Amino acid sequence: MTDREAIQRLSVNTGDFSAVSWLHHNNAEVIHGVVARYFGTGEAADRAECVLMQRIAERARSYERQESPGEWLARCATSECDLLRNEAIHDKANMSMGEGHSHG
């Protein structure tokens, strides 16, 4: 399987585990690099990487045939990590605002 074939398979079936695994394994250096840039290393980064791979699978339909699969993957990983970090910041802010306040 090539990266392009894996992306095309995911555009048809986002739950294609072997295609997700292929992309993750074949592009591990890029994926780990992007995740580390946004989340560092450790448990939070590991969780983010799992979510990231599912989100990349869900975005496979946005892949255009003329694009380089590697460039598409790096761009997706970067934008999804940015979204994930913003969601985490938002969730953390909401949690801290909610603590210690009782309504009733």
Asked whether residue 103 is domain-assigned, the answer is: no
Asked whether residue 104 is domain-assigned, the answer is: no
Asked whether residue 38 is domain-assigned, the answer is: yes
Residues spanned by the domain of 33:
3-98
Asked whether residue 35 is domain-assigned, the answer is: yes
Asked whether residue 78 is domain-assigned, the answer is: yes
Task: Answer for the pair 49, 28: CB distance below 8 angstroms, yes or no.
Answer: no
Q: What is the pLDDT along the chain (104 residues), one digit of tens a residue?
A: 999 999 999 999 999 999 999 999 999 999 999 999 999 999 989 999 999 999 999 999 999 999 999 999 999 999 999 999 998 877 777 777 665 544 44
The enclosing domain of 84 has a CATH number of: 1.10.1740.10
Within 13 Å, how many C-alpha atoms sit on residue 45's CB side? 12
Domain count, the chain: 1
pTM: 0.83
